[in-house]
Amino acid sequence: MTKELFILKLHEIGAVKFGEFTLKSGLKSPFYFDLRDMISYPELLTGIAGLLAEDIKNSDFDYVSGVPYTALPVATLISDITNKPLIYIRKEEKAYGTKNPVIGKFEKGKKVLIIDDLITTGESLIETAEKFKNEGLKVTDFSVIIDRSNNIAKKLEKQGYNIRSLIGLNEILKILKANGKISSGQISEIKNFVNNINKKEKKESNIENRLTKLLKEKIKTKKSNLVLSLDVDNRKDFFDILDKTAKHIVMLKTHIDILNDFNAEFISKLKKYAKKYDFLIFEDRKFADIGNTVRKQYSGGIYKIKDWAHFVTVHAVAGEGILRGLFNDVENRSSFLLAKMSSKGNLMNETYTRKVFEIGEKYAGIVSGYICHGNSKEELQKLKNKIPNGQLMLMPGVKLQTGTDATGQQYTTVEEAMQGGADCIIVGRGIIEAENPEATAKEYRKRAWKIYEKKVESS
Ligand code: S5P
């Protein structure tokens, strides 16, 4: 089978449609691709498997896999043609720990090539790759039938993947036009639609965030990456420690609801300190409810967080509506999303973390970065590579020595955190429980800045 015949046949069976279709996002699209029915046409299925097998014949891999369901029968045929064993990831979520997510026999350390029918965002391919990697396999190559994405290859490359695609949208349009299946008018409508989507995406991810800029500048002018987490329960201790440490920090992180003796004066005093010592204020509220509730929690109650905290933390578990609830009609405020927590056994897996970055990128105007913890610089670097351009990585669970506390808080050293790419380290007990908080804050600041400064110089 030739590519041309394949496309014409897809058109004939209705797998490639033109008209008006409402997408998941609510957008109206002038075209729609759905290759699911292809598997019921033996000639199409074997034809496409042959074309793909030819396309990947110089790729280096030990196993072939397909993303269920549509690509799985295709991968089965390719396994037969290439004589490479088939393995795949079960589609249902594993209900309990003992079930292996990989179906089929494999040896750790070997390479899997993953096949899919369509690629738009790359999400399911990356998700599948991550699951294989968690089982000790290697994945560097993807192969897809139709690429209808917006330059996905570049995004995937950044994450360490190569992608080969058999046919792109333009080629499909060309073939169908040459065979009288669509008109020039339809083609320009489709191209228009695709271009506008691209523009919209670009605009959303490049939104200027004044507070992100401010924090970046302050790191440089104050020569400090230190965020102090002042988790004490009374005003006296709070300001005693702040007196000694304020000159060394770029930002102060509070848990305002820990204080026993909170009052309105506390806030005005805190603001004065922030001005005098030139640091930003970050309330670690970890909002996690529906938009309507968090809006009230943010601006109301006794703390009125919105009035004094430049930044707050937000759990994206509630979906992106939480950000709209918090920041609609609010100016000069921003947030950090929890992407990978420092507590042992936390439920944030790679897929969750990746989705947090996606939401954060989309809302870059009100998301300045992410809270990410890694147990080593390598772990952290992997996270850093996935963080959208321009946004920051803040790392909690940092001490001068590694270790854990009684409830599973994990500590990594300042050096590992900074070499792993953290823009700021968040330190609580390492400083506030030290015999000499002043000297200790100075030490954390010095150690972190030394690494950061070198990185900035060499970039
Ligand atoms: O994953 C996280 C996220 C945060 S914001 N792990 C954390 O420890 N934090 C916060 O960082 C935590 O709530 C605390 O305020 C601080 C770490 O405190 P430390 O005393 O363990 O350094």
185: domain CATH number is 3.40.50.2020
Q: Which of 205, 240, 259 is the last residue in one of the domains?
A: 205
Measure the CA–CA gap between 241 and 432, rounded to whole angstroms: 7
Pocket probe mutation, ligand 1, options 317, 342, 348, max atoms within 8 Å of Cβ: 342
Q: Are residues 422 and 275 in the same domain?
A: yes
Question: Are 149 and 279 part of one and the same domain?
Answer: no
Total tally of structural domains belonging to the chain = 2
Predicted local distance difference test score (pLDDT) of residue 88: 97
Report the CATH number that the domain containing residue 279 is assigned in CATH: 3.20.20.70
Q: Are 107 and 254 members of one domain?
A: no
Residue with the smallest CA separation from ligand 1 atom 3 is 341
Active-site residue 286, yes or no? yes
pTM of the full predicted structure?
Answer: 0.72
User: Quick one: 308 and 422 in the same domain?
Assistant: yes
Task: For ligand 1, say whether the CB of 429 is within 6 Å of any of its atoms.
Answer: yes
Nearest CA to ligand 1 atom 7: 396
pLDDT at 400: 96
Answer whether 396 contacts ligand 1 (Cβ < 6 A): yes
Positions in the chain short of pLDDT 50:
94-95, 202-205
Query: Does 197 share its domain with 326?
Result: no
Among protein residues, the one with the nearest Cα to ligand 1's atom 11 is 396
Is 219 found in the same domain as 189? no
Instruction: Give the chain as a 3 state SS string.
Output: CCHHHHHHHHHHCCCEEEEEEECCCCCEEEEEECCHHHHHCHHHHHHHHHHHHHHCCCCCCCEEEECCCCHHHHHHHHHHHHCCCECEECCCCCCCCCCCCEECCCCCCCEEEEEEEEECCCHHHHHHHHHHHHCCCEEEEEEEEEECCCCHHHHHHHCCCEEEEEEEHHHHHHHHHHCCCCCHHHHHHHHHHHHHHHHHHHHHHCCCCHHHHHHHHHHHHHCCCEEEECCCCCHHHHHHHHHHHHHHCCEEEECHHHCCCCCHHHHHHHHHHHHHHCCEEEEEEEECCCHHHHHHHHHCCCCCHHHCCCEEEECHHHCCHHHHHHHCCCCCCEEEEEEECCECCCCCCHHHHHHHHHHHHHCCCCEEEEEECCCCHHHHHHHHHHCCCCCEEEECCEECCCEECCCCEEEEEHHHHHHCCCCEEEECHHHHCCCCHHHHHHHHHHHHHHHHHHHHHHC
The answer on 379 and 321 residing in a single domain is yes
In a shared domain, residues 195 and 259: no
Q: Single out the catalytic residue among 244, 247, 286, 304.
A: 286
- Are 270 and 419 contained in the same domain? yes
Q: Does ligand 1 come within 6 angstroms of the Cβ of 65?
A: no
User: 86 C-alpha to center of ligand 1: Å?
Assistant: 44
| pLDDT for the residue numbered 77 | 98
Question: Does 17 share its domain with 113?
Answer: yes
- Bond before 69 cis per omega within 30 degrees: yes
Domain boundary among 183, 205, 227: 205
Domain termination site, one of 181, 205, 229 = 205
pLDDT of residue 206: 54
Host domain of residue 82: 3-205
pLDDT reported for residue 204: 46
pLDDT for res 98: 55
pLDDT of residue 429: 98
Same domain, 73 and 162: yes
User: Does 198 lie in the same domain as 84?
Assistant: yes
CB of 79 closer than 6 A to ligand 1?
A: no
Indicate which residue's Cα is closest to atom 15 of ligand 1: 229
